[in-house]
Amino acid sequence: QVHLVESGGGLVQAGGSLRLSCAASGRSFSDYTMGWFRQASGKEREFVGRISRYGGSIYYADSVKGRFTISRDNAKNTVYLQMDSLKPEDTAVYYCAADRENRGTNVVAAYDYWGQGTQVTVSS
């Protein structure tokens, strides 16, 4: 099992940047594909991006491609989400999640462990 804790959320103006972190504890961090998801108020949770166990494969949702960057540091048991050129529509609670089966999927239900989320608010 792995315990995930996100940090780095906050309020930022449109066009600004934020960097989210997700610290993991428990089993070996490199055993997991890590995903980032977000959920805006009144909407379903949606895929943002994912990174494979050693960072060799990274995928993004079309809505964030070219603006967001996912990375991981297995020595620090941490995955990051660098968000640039933020837009008001990026406002949401952001979650990191771990896939212990390394399915390589964007599906919410496929991820086994979740953090508590961190709020990102982008003002216009």
Distance from CA of residue 63 to its chain's centroid?
A: 14
**Average pLDDT, integer, range 114-120:** 98
| Per-residue pLDDT tens digits for 23-39 | 999 878 999 999 999 99
pLDDT for 26 equals 80
pLDDT category of residue 12 using cuts at 50, 70 and 90? very high
**Over 90: is that where the pLDDT of 1 sits?**
no
| Per-residue pLDDT tens digits for 71-107 | 999 999 999 999 999 999 999 999 999 999 988 899 9
| Residue among 22, 11, 9 nearest 114 (CA) | 22
- For 74-92, letters b (16+ CB in 10 Å) and e give beebbbbbebeebeeebbb
Residue whose structure tokens are 């895929």: 47
pLDDT for 102 equals 87
